[in-house]
Amino acid sequence: MLSKEFTINSQYGFHLRPAQVMVEKMTPFESAVKMKKEDGTEADAKSLLGLMSLGLNDGMTVRIDINGNDELEAMEVVEELFRTNFGE
C-alpha cells in the first residue's frame, strides 16, 4: 500500500471539476484508491459523490491511500494531478 499527503490548492476547494478529473483518472486502475481527510473521513477516489461529500476546502491536507497491483502507476497519476492543480 502507498500513502501520500497532498494539500488542496484552489480558492474554490476540491469542487466538482477536480473531483470529476480524479474519478476519470482513477477509474481505469485496478487498485483501490481512497482520499482521507485529517479527521479520518474518507471516500473512494473513484466515486464522484464520495469525493464531493468530503467538503474539501483550500489549504486542507488529504491523504491518498492506494492499494493494489498498479498502485505505483496510480500514485504517479495522483501526484501529477495535484502538481498541475487538476488542470486548472
The residue whose grid cell reads 494531478 is: 81
Instruction: Give CA–CA dist 68/83, Å, rounded.
Output: 23
Whole-number Å distance between alpha carbons of 66 and 80: 15
Show the CA angle centred on residue 54, arms to residues 50 and 59, nearest 5°: 140
Tell me which of 15, 20, 50, 52 is the catalytic residue: 15
The question of whether 80 is a catalytic residue gets the answer: no
Q: Which residues are known to be catalytic? A: 15
